Structure 1
């Protein structure tokens, strides 16, 4: 089964995963920017336990799934490792993400969950995330177009 032939359960399970993720963020308090800011100011280390617990569960799930299943259950794709090189874009993007996280007090996933618990002013941060992603995409497409134009040489 190729990714074009995804299981009919694919979208419902994606929504269920998002629902569980959002509920977990809300229950743990990580959907509240003031709690995340307390973590960033070394006053509350609850976020470490939430992230650590999630990392352990995810790690075990991936270790078991890749050992006993030859294909992903929902997409049918084979399991493979995706290696991302540690380059300048990772450093720059991570730094910008960190500044945005520090200023808004919330990361993207928690921002959406924060709306779910009634924190509507966070919509400004979400709008900023979309604007930032759009600006980066626009800049990258303009840059790649300019690079292609420069690398093309007229033939005589």
Structure 2
């Protein structure tokens, strides 16, 4: 129960931070990404501020712990391979973010605004995730039969 409560608190704080900083505003995000035009550097300060808070805690507390407070072990990816799948996924994410000015975290945070564009984005994202999962299952079945 404690891990769910702490996850909820962290999620609410994260969402409030995104709202207060303007990271859920697609126009502000697009202004930040437009480095050759009317560039808005304010989100760089938001990210820098987040790093100033995160880095000392990470190096002084988290890296020294044997296990998380609310779990039995840390969940850290061990994948070190940069393959076509990773590059394609990162490219699609970046292109989508650049075109729409929305990424998944801020989109979920923006959902209560009842903005139709956000709803379409989230539906398209969920459909895309579902298609990738089905493709993975299809490939796994084909590999088992061959």
The alignment's TM-score, normalised by the length of structure 1, stands at: 0.82
In structure 1, the residue matched to 2:13 is: 20
1:113 aligns with 2:113: no
Alpha-carbon shift at residue 112 of structure 1 (Å): 1.2
In structure 1, the residue matched to 2:78 is: 83
Write the distance in 1 (CA, Å) between the matches of 2:5 and 2:76: 25
Alpha-carbon shift at residue 71 of structure 1 (Å): 1.6
Larger Rg: 1
Please give the residue correspondences for 1:2-151 in structure 2 after superposition, counting only pairs within 5 Å.
Answer: 8-42=1-35, 43-77=39-73, 79=74, 82-85=77-80, 86-116=82-112, 118-121=113-116, 122-150=118-146
Pairwise CA RMSD: 1.8
More contact order relative to length (CA 8 Å, sep ≥ 6): 1
In structure 2, the residue matched to 1:153 is: none
Question: Secondary structure, in 3 states, of the residue corresponding to 2:61?
Answer: helix
Alpha-carbon shift at residue 108 of structure 1 (Å): 0.4
Which structure 1 residue ranges, 5 or more long, are not aligned?
Answer: 1-7, 151-156
Deviates more, 1:121-130 or 1:40-49: 40-49
Which structure 2 residue ranges, 5 or more long, are not aligned?
Answer: none
In structure 2, the residue matched to 1:154 is: none
